[in-house]
Amino acid sequence: MMLPRVAIMISGRGSNMEAIVASTREGVLRGRCEVCGVLASRGDAAGVALAEALAVPTRIVPSKGEDTQSYGLKLLGALESWSPDYLVLAGFMRILSPDVIAAYRGRIVNIHPADTAAYQGPDGYGWAAAHNLKQTMITVHLVDEGVDTGPVLCRRAVDLTGASTRDEIAQQGLRVEHAMYSECLADLLSGQYDALVSGIRSRNTRE
């Protein structure tokens, strides 16, 4: 039986990517999906070398200087040969174009280091530090045309007791992220979120 193919998209260190790859080999994602490739928006992303060390195919599609529309077309071209069933954003720091979202609607997943109902946008851990939060949330959601506005698949709390700086908060949060993302993806692949997925996919037929 063919397993669903997952392309992971990164812009930086790739720690969530590493955790997902590990989970497909010896964790909750084993036997549920395969990582067909890792695509990076920056050539200097540390996650590229990490993916290569894990024997995962890599591709770099530089985003610097590209507008959203033209970059989206390049992403679609780069992803085509991998034929992914799902795009998993793991620290991918570019807004996806409407073309990419339409092509993979209901099959693009993102992790956001905050409660998307309270904060959307970059550096959720910096936002938590600036607001002196004692607890924050990690959100995994489907991607739509907005910024961190798509249907929520799961949320998990992060206790920030003893964490006062942005880096300390990030350390606390990443420990939650690394386990949570794979678990949520496993639930998605098992059909637990089919109603949400159907709802977002139906938008293509109405547009």
Q: What residue ranges do the domains of the chain occupy?
A: 5-206
Residue 137, beta-bridge partner list: 157
Q: State pTM to two decimals.
A: 0.95
d(CA 88, CA 108): 6
Q: What is the pLDDT of residue 201?
A: 80
- Residues 94 and 15: beta-carbon distance below 8 Å: no
Q: Which two tokens stand for residue 123?
A: 């550096």
- Give me the percent of the chain exceeding a pLDDT of 70: 98
Confidence check: pLDDT of 204 > 80: no
Size of the chain in residues: 207
Give the mean model confidence (pLDDT) for residues 187-195: 95
Mean pLDDT of the chain: 95
Burial 152-169 (b: 16+ CB within 10 A, else e): bbbbbebebeebeeeeeb
- Helix (H) or strand (E) run with residue 86 in it: strand 86-89
Confidence check: pLDDT of 36 > 80: yes
d(CA 153, CA 204): 20
d(CA 10, CA 16): 9
The yes or no reply on domain 5-206 and CATH 3.40.50.170 is yes
Give the mean model confidence (pLDDT) for residues 104-133: 97
Confidence check: pLDDT of 19 > 90: yes
Q: What is the pLDDT of residue 33?
A: 98
Confidence check: pLDDT of 202 > 80: no
Confidence check: pLDDT of 95 > 70: yes
Confidence check: pLDDT of 207 > 60: no
Lowest mean pLDDT among 54-58, 143-147, 203-207: 203-207
